[in-house]
Structure 1
Amino acid sequence: MPIVEICVGDVPAALTAEAAGADRVELCADLGQGGTTPSLGAVAVALRTLRRVGVRVMVRPRGGDFRVSEVEERVMLADIAAIRQLPNPHGLAVGVVVGAVTAEGDLDLPVLGRLVEAAGPLPVTVHKAFDEVGDQHAALEAVIAIGADAVLTSGAAPSALAGAQRLAALRQQAGDRLRVIVGGGVRAHNVREVLALTGAREVHLRAPVQRNGREATDGDEVRRVVAAVRAD
């Protein structure tokens, strides 16, 4: 059964996604910047209050480009170390989400390798920085070689549907060596088409709705996505 991962900007949104049937949440801060590292307090409370979903924690010290300076790498390593030490009373499947590219637009493999090593037993997803590289097929092999668990990608296209052909090829190439999480414009009305065209086993999306002047997660949309994915 395909996995539904919901990107959320705070703990209440994570609880909404869990109640609506999501399989996993990606916990971030500052979604307007594409997601940055949430506070350790937010991660700690999420691990105490969620009961069932997997949790992936974004580790990204700032918005903007995906180049990582030496100081920023040290911050990311410290965040990963701190996340590893947090209590996980319900035994949730916890992992981290990272990314780094060079000035030339290639994956920064030395940085990524050190981040994966620091994560230890925690699974590591390489986020959509993967969509910035020119040769995604070569990059996929490199991500596998450094020991990452997954990549999140739209196939370097504006949406998963637009990148469906590339996504299908990446999925076939990865086989069981790496999880390819498909994201980019995935919604209830198109998720079955995305799954059919890409062969995806995991989809990633935000389900934004405005409430009281701020973004929240639309539990109804999450339910619709989950229902579509689970439908015969």
Structure 2
Amino acid sequence: MAKLEVCCFGVDCALQAEKAGADRVELCAAPSEGGLTPSAGMLRQARQQLTLPVHPIIRPRGGDFCYSANEFAVICEDIALVKELGFSGLVVGILDNDGHIDMTRMRILMRLCEGMAVTFHRAFDLCHNPAIALQQLSDLGVARILTSGQQQSAEIGLGLLRELTALSCGPIIMAGAGVRLSNITKFLDAGIEELHSSASQQVGSSMRYRKAGVTMCSNSETDEFTRQSVDGVMVEAMKNVMTSHTLAVAT
């Protein structure tokens, strides 16, 4: 049966995803950066409160995926903490400055991740050659690749996603970026086994007092009194569609 991974930016968010029937959570901080490594506190609370598989992202900063020596050292330290806490898997990815998988560093990370399922994240979508990258990641033994098919959204990249799924003899190809209830059957019909979605909505702050004209972000358009959170109803609806699709195919 196809699986739904929900991207969650906090433990409360992840608890909603679990209650709604998500198969797995990708745990992140900093949604405006596209997801960064969760804090130690968030990681510990996730291990204490959640029962479904939780895979934290290991990403020390926003921007590209070509890291300095210090940044790489931070990645290694964060992986060590995630392993020590007993997570079943994590999400990571490193490229070199020519847009290829950084095989030297990824081999080091794979040794550090022994015993955990490794998802190579959307750094794959910035790779120079997806077919070569797929082969390299297969050789490394990664469990899955999160990708939009090297397009802005997975729906636009569906052609490459289908090709990668057919080519892969190792990693699961997991479609992510713009995967939602309205287009989920397109991915299922293409034979994609795992889907990644934020399944999110904007929720308002519980604060009654609202200070106007002050923002914590350099973008003055940012609203400090709304935030992104998982929509449990949406997660449940997506899982229902996935289950119905599986049953229809089986009959």
1:128 and 2:128 matched? no
Q: Is the 8 A contact 2:98 2:128 kept in 1?
A: no
1:142 aligns with 2:141: no
| Alignment of structure 1 residues 45-124 onto 2, 5 Å | 45-51=45-51, 53-86=52-85, 88=86, 94-124=88-118
Q: Of the two, which has the highest radius of gyration?
A: 2
Aligned-partner Cα distance in 2 for 1:165–1:103: 27
Structure 2 residues not aligned, in runs of 5+: 206-225
Classify the secondary structure of the residue corresponding to 2:124: helix
Q: 1:196 aligned to 176, 185, 189, which one?
A: 189
Identical pairs, percent? 36
1: CA distance between counterparts of 2:116 and 2:64?
A: 25
Distance 1:121 1:59 in 2: 16
Q: Match for 1:204: what amino acid?
A: H
2:159: which partner in 1?
165
Alpha-carbon distance in structure 2 between the residues aligned to 1:200 and 1:18: 22
- 1:227 aligns with 240
The SS at the match of 2:201 is: strand
2: CA distance between counterparts of 1:74 and 1:101? 15
* TM-score w.r.t. length of structure 1: 0.93
Question: What is the deviation of 1:217?
Answer: 1.0
1:16-27 residue pairs with structure 2 within 5 A? 16-27=16-27
Give how far 1:134 is off.
2.1
Q: Which residue of 1 aligns with 2:177?
A: 184
Contact 2:33 2:62 in 1 (8 A): yes
Runs of 4+ in 1 over 2 A off after TM superposition: none
For 2:44, the equivalent position in structure 1 comes to: 44
Point out where structure 1 has 5 or more consecutive residues left out of the alignment: none
TM-score, with normalisation over the residues of structure 2? 0.86
| Count of aligned pairs | 224
**How far apart, in 1, do the equivalents of 2:177 and 2:187 lie?**
10
Other-structure match for 1:10: 10
Distance 1:9 1:85 in 2: 21
2:201 to 191, 194, 209: 209
